[in-house]
Copies of this chain bind each other. A is one copy, B any other.
Amino acid sequence: MQDYTPAQERVLDAAAAAFSEHGFGGTSTRDIAVRAGRSPAAVYVHYRSKEDLLFAVSRRGHDAAHRAMIEASADAASPTERLGTMVHASTLWHLENARVARVVQYEYGALTEPHRGVIADLRRQTTQLIVDVIAEGDASGDFDVDDIAGTARAVLSLSIDLVRWFSPDRLDQAARIARLNVALAQRMVGADPPRSAPTIRCASR
C-alpha cells in the first residue's frame, strides 16, 4: 500500500467521484479540479496525468477490497465459514464503496499498459483468495465443485456486478444483500445448507 497527503487524497476522491459519474473518457481534468476545490493546474502538482489519477484510484480500491476480504476471513473455522466471510466482506465493500468500485471494475481498459499489469496482479491475488478456499473445501468434502476457477469467478461476480446498478442511497439494504450473497455462494459450491433440515430434503425425493 501507499500513503497520500491530504492534498493528494482530496484530488483522488474528486477524481474517483468524477470517473464514477462520467467514466474516465467523459471526465475532464477541469471537472476533477473543480470538485477538489482547486485550479486545473493544481491537479498536475500531485499527479502527472489524468491516467495516473485513474491508476491511483484503481490500485487503492483493489487494495482496500482485498484487505477487507482477508481481515474478515481471518478467524473462520471452516471452508464454508471462510467463504461466507469473504463473500460478505466483498459484497459490503462493493456496496459501501460503489462509486470507487465502479471505477475499479469498469475502467481497467483505460489504463496504460504498465499500469494494467500492476492492476492485473492485484486482481489475480483477490481471485486466488476465493480459489484457495473453494479448493480447500472441495478437498475436505465440505464443498462439491467441478470447475474451481470458474466457480470462483462466478462467486466474485455476485459482489462485483452489484456496483453496476447499486446506488448509495440504498445503503440500508446492504446487510440484506450481503447475507443473500453469502447464502448463494455457499449453494454454488455445494456446501451443506447451514440451517435447513437434511432429513426432510432426503425424504422428499
Known: A23-B25, A192-B205. A150 touches B180 (CB 8 A): yes
The yes or no answer to A147 lying at the interface (CB within 8 A) is: yes
Residue-by-residue, is A161-203 near B (CB-CB < 8 Å gives 1, otherwise 0)? 1101000000000001100110110011010100010100110
Secondary structure of the A contact surface, majority rule: helix
Nearest CB in chain B: distance from A101 CB, A:
12
Taking a contact as CB atoms closer than 8 A, the residue among B24, B109, B110, B187 that contacts A188 in the complex is B187
Nearest CB in chain B: distance from A10 CB, A:
23
In the complex, chain A residues 4-41 whose Cβ is within 8 Å of any chain B Cβ? 21-27
Most buried by B among A158, A192, A198, A205: A158
Nearest chain B residue, comparing its CB with the CB of A162: B157
- Whether A110 and B154, one on each chain, are in contact in the complex, defined by CB atoms closer than 8 angstroms, is no
Can you list 11 pairs linking A and B with CB atoms under 8 Å apart? A21-B109, A22-B110, A25-B25, A26-B110, A141-B204, A147-B176, A150-B176, A154-B158, A187-B188, A187-B190, A188-B188
Query: What 10 A-B pairs have minimum CB-CB distances, sorted nearest first?
Result: A25-B26, A157-B161, A25-B25, A202-B202, A161-B161, A23-B25, A23-B23, A150-B180, A187-B187, A184-B188
